[in-house]
Amino acid sequence: MSKNFSVVGQSLPRADARIKAVGAAQYADDIILPGMLYGKLLRSPVAHARILNIDVSQAKKLPGVKCVITGDDTLKIKFGNWRLVPESQDEYPLAVDKVRFIGDEVAAVAAIDKDIAEEALSLIKVEYEELPGVFSVEEAMAEGAPVIHELNPNNISLQRKIDYGDLDKAFAECDLILDNEFKVHAVSHAYMEPCACVAEYDHNGRLTVWTSTQTPYFVQCLLAKTLGMRENDIRVIKPFVGGGFGGKMELRKWEFCAAFMARQTGRPVKFTLTRAEELATGRRRHPMSIRSKVGFKKDGTLVAKEFTAYLDGGAYNSMGPTAAFLCGNFGGMLYRYPNYRYNGYHVYTNKPPAGAMRGFGAPQALFVAETQMNMAAEQLGIDPLDIRLKNAMETGDEIPGVATISSCGFKESLLKVAEMTNWREKRRQLGKGKGIGIGCYSFISGGVFNWFNTQYNFTRAEVRAFDDGTVHLLTMASDIGQGCDTVLRQILAEELGLKMEDIRLTAADTAVTPQADLGTWGSRVTLMAGNAVRKAAQEIKDQLYKVVSLKFDLNVIHDLDCRDGMVFAKNRPDRGIPFGEAVRLAQRANRGEPIIGYGSYTPRGKGLVTPAFSFGAQVAEVTVDMETGAITVDEMNTAHDCGTPINPMSVEGQLEGSVHMGLGYALCEQFIMKGGKTLTATFLDYKIPCAEDMPPGKSVHVETYEPDGPFGAKEAGEGLVSPTAPAIADAVYHATGYRCTELPITPEKILRGLGKL
Amino acid sequence: MSKNFSVVGQSLPRADARIKAVGAAQYADDIILPGMLYGKLLRSPVAHARILNIDVSQAKKLPGVKCVITGDDTLKIKFGNWRLVPESQDEYPLAVDKVRFIGDEVAAVAAIDKDIAEEALSLIKVEYEELPGVFSVEEAMAEGAPVIHELNPNNISLQRKIDYGDLDKAFAECDLILDNEFKVHAVSHAYMEPCACVAEYDHNGRLTVWTSTQTPYFVQCLLAKTLGMRENDIRVIKPFVGGGFGGKMELRKWEFCAAFMARQTGRPVKFTLTRAEELATGRRRHPMSIRSKVGFKKDGTLVAKEFTAYLDGGAYNSMGPTAAFLCGNFGGMLYRYPNYRYNGYHVYTNKPPAGAMRGFGAPQALFVAETQMNMAAEQLGIDPLDIRLKNAMETGDEIPGVATISSCGFKESLLKVAEMTNWREKRRQLGKGKGIGIGCYSFISGGVFNWFNTQYNFTRAEVRAFDDGTVHLLTMASDIGQGCDTVLRQILAEELGLKMEDIRLTAADTAVTPQADLGTWGSRVTLMAGNAVRKAAQEIKDQLYKVVSLKFDLNVIHDLDCRDGMVFAKNRPDRGIPFGEAVRLAQRANRGEPIIGYGSYTPRGKGLVTPAFSFGAQVAEVTVDMETGAITVDEMNTAHDCGTPINPMSVEGQLEGSVHMGLGYALCEQFIMKGGKTLTATFLDYKIPCAEDMPPGKSVHVETYEPDGPFGAKEAGEGLVSPTAPAIADAVYHATGYRCTELPITPEKILRGLGKL
């Protein structure tokens, strides 16, 4: 591992900073095409019903309306991201026969303006036969509960298991067993940019869709399936995207409707969701009911854990199968659990479907795990820091066949954050409404799993080198605001010894960029696309090294390098030529062929979960007003291991965002539901922390070198949404004696918990 | 040569037919970007002058004007297509110190609308010191003539020579020597779409230019040079183009100005030329003064030719160097000239520069050569058909080191057109104002020459194959209306056994399509890009054949094929699988890598001119009103050899267009000039034949198989502009006894020639 980097490790401004700052970035809703129509969706006003009839005749007659469709107009093909398990695909592009939640898409209109489209919706007459609904996992699993999907008479759509060691034997040997129940709630991605897309059907029978998505490839494939078209007759382009956080990684009904109606009318069709639609009907983080039984030796050694999670999936599977799997994995990570059993149940309810969201099973699993660590520390009389140090995973740890920890800076993170916060002293001394608490995390750097059943490598990069000293990087990786357009260019610039401005990037266009990339989720991009970029760069270098070797008649033992715009023999930098000149000569040698490098990456031999794990520890300091229960987070400090940061400033931004999101999850964000109805459908009702709510604090990188990551890099910024809630909960407990086991932590709960209400 | 084609040889509708028919095709002028400015050019009102001063201060003050530039604002870098000979590059992006023709670009304005830009032009004050001008090659070459470019004190910018055999000895042995002078005139490309472009400079310092061009790659490279940018920081995209005919194959001043001012202002800038600008200042076909001495044996055998052409190049070289070279080649082609000498002089005059135009040296050379053949036939008492048959080139003929005739259907064309028109009988019998005449041609299928000094292969194709049974063809080849988007897809469909709708095409985008392609000129695309496409397809097939061989455990001697969507063993079609399935398996074998094929083509070992020659013969039948001299073309029949036509309907369209353009050249199109001023600057003054002027007639393919062409194809539709003028001239002579040696053939000239005026 050489630390002598030129571009990697630099806090460079993001490639998209300027264009976003000046307001020139084009998002999907900024796209206006000649003759474009505006689409609107008619959503179910009832949580569970049979559709008896839909009459669109009046809507069709409204002047300016060009197209009205219902499920009957479609091919009625079910879809979902889990192509590997076709029966898990449980959504229709538009409702067929039944609606299953308030907001379920029933019909769509395309009209010459938004108001007419809106008015047309009001003219569609739907006859529903209402059915009883279920609104919690408990109701859904109760004997005789109404059935939401016929395939799943018990409303459990799937069960995931993890099991290793001998649990019964292990528990029998424990000195302390905690057996607790927890409830965690749903929160919104609350991305700045509501979903939008524009679809255009061309004169050759091909479709182009610009959409605010994390996963252009998924949208392409699933549109093809549902429209009855061939994948490669569909082109999906990701314009600038204003955040996704997991909420934009599936085919969405409006993408289908835009495409379908564009094909039907021959005119481009745009859909832009309102914030109310996003909040009231959009995907959200899975609420869960969790039971966790965990056993320790007297000295704090973790011995066994039995973890059962009931995921409230809402009306459809969405990414629930993955959430159910990952939640179990996160429940058994971070510490060494020699004996572990997990049962995860994905349960249908008549609520808006939960989906993937930043952390994806980890915030729930780790709120439970970290809270129980804090409980155990107290009961065993051990400092929460020490009990963690005792059990912390280390480099080289392995869960056979499941996961290998090829780099781990967890202990260093624990020690670092303790040092930063003066943990031991404060933990002993605070009180009177002041508390300090800790939460930790481990997270994945992309997934090994192939539920989308792609036949392509997980990611691929193409690099074209030119004799003017520039290169062009083509990748289907999707920058949705997390900064991969910058990071991938840094990786390439480092590899080729070029400057950032030497690199042109074309990304996320399924018709142009190399097949395929699975998109932005699970913190996969830096590691996976980064590795592909490095391999592609290596192919370029191989070609250039040949001509330099030839030109200077180099002995075979010479090592060559690209740096500062030169290609040269490492120990004889005088034997070198500028990068562009090397390209020119390589082309001469190639008889005019262009100089191109390709690289692909698919994790292999890395278990079932991820090629690399990140780690970190966070300490929250709070003040609780003992009269009102009001919580002020005074400080939030973090030490974390993301391997070698490619762009420290960018990592910093991710971490700040994580703290913000973790804070909202812990304290104030929640959907108030009445039956299946989401009452908090504006940002006045659904409270996300404001800038002024952000606590001071630092985050420090504990640098490790991840052998499977590009230049040693791994995940940053997704894992860190998890420790905040348990850290704050622990600090509140430290301050007040109230132990929260049901998020969010509200003043009311504190006061009730303390017997003051 | 297998004739058993599925797609090649089919008269399929053009890929762009529907979108053009419904008016949805986007041309450069249709592009509207947010904040876009409109550019206008200030042109010199004088033919030759020194610029003493330019005052733009008033123009800059006009509200709405965002940018005003003159030559002094630029880097003053000269450019031109002949990068191989830097001193031939004689144009500045905007005039520096001098103007050399009426229309020379002096300054440019970008403003918020066209009217303001126009008004701003009127506020720019230019002080000129007028210089005497020269307006013909004779004036330009006269002793003491004003010097237009200092590098060329005699106004001859270059001389091209071709010389083989022993000319003096050969002439001494001739029985008949003709020694004539000819004058041919300038005509306009008269493309339907006036030139337009839009340039956008982005937040990463990169430039995108959409422009109506035949040669995106040239524009990219020359913009880079003149702007002081790196080639690959510039992206040139060809939208739909409404014809070029050679007039859109250079960097144009407005492209430079749009790019420069977009960079200057940070706003997109559009230029659209008016028809008047196009006609009064645009490129045109080279007028020439020609002397040709040609010698025959009594039996009609051609023995020697000495051919001298003075090209009136106007104020700059433009494509003149190539025209001067090709004119000499065309003068020595078509028939066997055992002894040949050519001297071509490219002469500067103070007129709008001549440039490349459909035929490119051939219409001039062949008007002369074919007229002299007809003169000789008469003087030797041989039928014009027979004298041609005697001397006609044949397959296998070679001009050593210069050209190899690898396929030639010239004799067959002569015989065919004679048969179609009942030539021998009519040639003997007509009279009383009715005549029949013949003209023939030979043309190139792309050029071997590399005057642009590209380091890339002349063309390259990338083909991506998908498991849904589709393929994606990427090429920088430019469809400008001639139909290559259709023909290249036909070639690919044929190679892979697919249907047209299975093929997605992305073309002519320098940032996306493969480097490089030299563009559309010299009838190069079908042969060169077609060959590259075939090679790319072969790479796909190689991969698919492997999996089929593996799957069916095929004996190595099996031949495999792709046809009707299947990949199979040729003699055992049951041993085959669908194309998409073969792709899927090949990807499996490739561990997820996509299935891509590449192909490049550069003509090598084919002499100095072209890889393949087309041939043809045309017969015109006319009626001349002996009182008024008015000429009616009664019929126009053609037999021609374009090898194997890929799309006969498309060839037909090209031929009809050629006849139309040939007709205009022969009879009515001409620039009326006064000094350096073009007076015919509207389509009311500059007369192109209308639909109703088109004569009836047929064109018949004489099929040959060109071994260097894809599926045996070679040039169609460019060569055929040449025979029309000599054929009509010969028919007029046959009808009236007036022999035209100075185009166009007008009623006035006929009456004067017959002594009636």
Reported as a single tens digit per residue, the pLDDT across A286-344 is: 999 999 999 999 999 999 999 999 999 999 999 999 999 999 999 999 999 999 999 99
Q: Cβ of B588 and A455 within 8 Å? A: yes
From the list A206, A457, A592, the residue facing B456 with the nearest CB is: A592
A203 → closest Cβ in B19, B204, B593: B19
Q: How many domains does chain A have?
A: 3
Indicate if B563 and B472 belong to the same structural domain: yes
Looking at the fold, whether B251 and B110 belong to one and the same domain comes out as: yes
CA–CA separation, B581 vs B585, rounded Å? 6
User: B230 is written with which tokens?
Assistant: 């790196």
Residues B112, B249: one domain?
yes
Answer with the one of B256, B281, B306 that is the final residue of a domain. B281
* Closest residue to B232, CB basis, from A19, A204, A468: A468
Contact B469 A515 (CB under 8 A): no
Contact yes or no for A204 and B594 at CB 8 A: no
Inter-chain CB pairs, A–B, below 8 Å: 109
Q: How many CA atoms lie within 13 A of B474 on its CB side?
A: 19
Residue A653 predicted with pLDDT over 50: yes
| A139 within a domain of the structure (yes/no) | no
Chain A hits for B466, CB-CB cut-off 8 Å, are 230-232, 515
What is residue A3's predicted lDDT score, i.e. its pLDDT?
64
Residues of chain B contacting A, Cβ within 8 Å: 15, 18-19, 22, 24, 202-206, 224, 230-233, 454-458, 460, 464, 466-470, 472, 501, 504, 506, 511-512, 514-516, 584, 587-588, 591-594, 600, 602
| Coarse DSSP helix, strand, coil percentages of chain B, rounded to the nearest 5 percent | 30, 25, 45
Please check whether residue B116 is in contact with residue B691, taking contact to mean a CB–CB distance below 8 angstroms. Answer: no
> In chain A, which residues have their Cβ closer than 8 Å to the Cβ of B232?
466, 468, 470, 472, 504
> With contacts defined as CB-CB under 8 Å, which chain B residues touch A22?
203
Nearest to A232 among B454, B504, B587 (CB): B504
The whole-number pLDDT of residue A606 equals 86
Residues B106 and B213 both lie in one domain: yes
Helices (H), A200-274: 216-227, 253-265
B470, A205: Cβ pair inside 8 Å? no
Same domain, A260 and A300: no
* CATH number of the domain where residue B46 is located: 3.90.1170.50
- Phi, psi dihedral angles at A110 (to 5 degrees): -125, 130
Shared domain for A507 and A444, answered yes or no, is no
Chain-chain contact of B504 with A233 (C-beta, under 8 angstroms): yes
One domain, residues A641 and A582:
no
B422 in a domain, yes or no? yes
Q: Would the CB atoms of A591 and B464 count as touching at under 8 Å? A: no
The domain that holds A640 is classified in CATH as 3.30.365.10
- Across the interface, whether the CB atoms of A204 and B468 are under 8 A apart is answered no
Mean pLDDT, rounded, of chain A: 96
- Comparing CB atoms, the residue among A203, A460, A501 nearest residue B24 is A203
Q: Which residues pair with A674 in a beta bridge?
A: A677
Instruction: Report pLDDT digits (tens) over A133-160.
Output: 999 999 999 999 999 999 999 999 999 9
Taking the CA of residue A363 and the nearest CA in chain B, the distance in Å comes to 33
Q: How confident is the model at residue A1 (pLDDT cuts 50, 70, 90)?
A: very low
Domain check: are A396 and A505 in the same one?
no
C-alpha distance from B501 to closest chain A C-alpha (Å): 8
**For residue A592, what is the nearest residue in chain B, using CA coordinates?**
B456
Q: Do A472 and B600 touch (CB under 8 A)?
A: no
Q: Do B205 and A592 touch (CB under 8 A)?
A: no
Q: Which residue of A has its CA nearest to B466?
A: A232
How far away is chain B from the Cα of A93, in angstroms, using its nearest Cα? Answer: 22
For residue B202, tell me if it sits in a domain: yes
Would you call B588 and A231 a contact, using CB atoms and an 8 Å cutoff?
A: no
Is A6 a domain residue? no
Q: Is the dihedral of CA B40, B45, B46, B50 positive or negative?
A: negative
Residues of B in contact with A468 (CB under 8 A): 224, 230-233
Report CB contact under 8 Å: A232, B470.
yes
Domain span holding position A212: 31-131+192-243+248-281
Are A652 and A678 spatial neighbours (Cβ–Cβ below 8 Å)? no
Determine which of B593, B595, B602 to mutate to test the interface with A (most A C-beta atoms within 10 Å).
B593
Nearest residue of chain B to residue A511 (CA atoms): B472
- In SS3 terms, A220-240 reads as HHHHHHHHCCCHHHEEEECCE
Going by pLDDT thresholds of 50, 70 and 90, the confidence category of residue A429 is confident
Interface test with chain A among B18, B486, B515, B517, by most A beta carbons within 10 Å: B515
In chain A, residues with a C-beta closer than 8 Å to the C-beta of B594 are 456, 460, 514-516
Extract the tokens encoding A265: 């009318």
ipTM (interface predicted TM): 0.94
Residue A152 within any structural domain of the chain: no
Which residue out of B14, B208, B232 would a mutagenesis test of the A interface target, given it has the greatest number of A Cβ atoms within 10 Å?
A: B232
- The minimal CB distance from B504 to the residues A206, A224, A587 is found for A206
CA distance A504 to chain B (A): 7
The reply to whether B596 and B711 lie within a common domain is no
Residue B229, in any domain of the structure: yes
Q: Per 3-state DSSP, what percentage of chain A is helix, strand, and coil (rounded to 5)?
A: 30, 25, 45
From A556, A572, A601, give the residue that closes a domain: A601
Query: Strand A49-55 vs strand A98-99: parallel, antiparallel, or unpaired?
Result: antiparallel
Mark yes or no for CB contact A504/B232 under 8 Å: yes
Of the partner residues A15, A470, A516, the one whose CB lies closest to the CB of residue B230: A470
Whether A180 is in a domain gets the answer: no
Last residue of a domain, one of B232, B266, B281: B281
- The reply to whether residue B457 touches residue A592, judged by beta carbons under 8 angstroms, is yes
Task: Spell out which residues of chain A touch residue B456, defining contact as CB-CB under 8 Å.
Answer: 587, 592, 594
Asked if the model's pLDDT at residue A4 lies above 90, the reply is no
Whether B635 and B694 share a structural domain: yes
Q: Which amino acid is at B3?
A: K
- Which of A458, A501, A594 has its CB closest to that of B205? A501
Domain shared by A525 and A575, yes or no: yes
Within-domain flag for B88: yes
- Chain B residue numbers with beta carbons less than 8 Å from the beta carbon of A587 are 455-456
What is the reported pLDDT for B3? 64
**Chain A residues closer than 8 Å to B469 by CB:** 230
Are B695 and B514 within 8 A, CB to CB?
no
Q: Which one of B469, B594, B600 has the shortest CB-CB distance to A230?
A: B469
**CA of B246 vs chain A CAs: smallest distance (Å):** 25
Handedness of CA B88, B90, B93, B96 (dihedral sign): positive
- Predicted local confidence at residue A486, as pLDDT: 97
Where is pLDDT greater, at A703 or A621? A621
Q: How far is B20 from chain A (nearest CA, A)?
A: 10
* Cis check: omega of the bond before A338, within 30 degrees of 0: no
Tell me which residues of chain B have a pLDDT lower than 50. 1-2
Domain check: are B571 and B619 in the same one? Answer: no
Spacing of C-alpha A4 from chain mean position: 32
CA distance linking residue B27 with residue B16, whole number of Å = 12
pLDDT at A402: 85
Residue at token pair 């070459």:
B141
pLDDT of the residue at B757: 86
Distances (CA, A) of A466 to A188, A318, A412: 45, 44, 44
Enumerate the residues of chain B whose CB falls inside 8 A of the CB of residue A501.
Answer: 204-205
Task: Provide the total of helices (H) and of strands (E) in chain A, helices listed first.
Answer: 19, 30
**CA nearest B722: which of B319, B331, B403?**
B331
- What chain B residue is nearest to A585 in terms of C-alpha separation? B455
Predicted local distance difference test score (pLDDT) of residue B1? 42
Residue B52, both tokens: 């003493």
Beta-carbon separation of B468 and A515 below 8 A = no
Indicate the SS3 state at residue B578. strand
Q: Which two tokens stand for residue B229?
A: 């940018």
Half-sphere exposure of A242 (CA within 13 A, CB side): 17
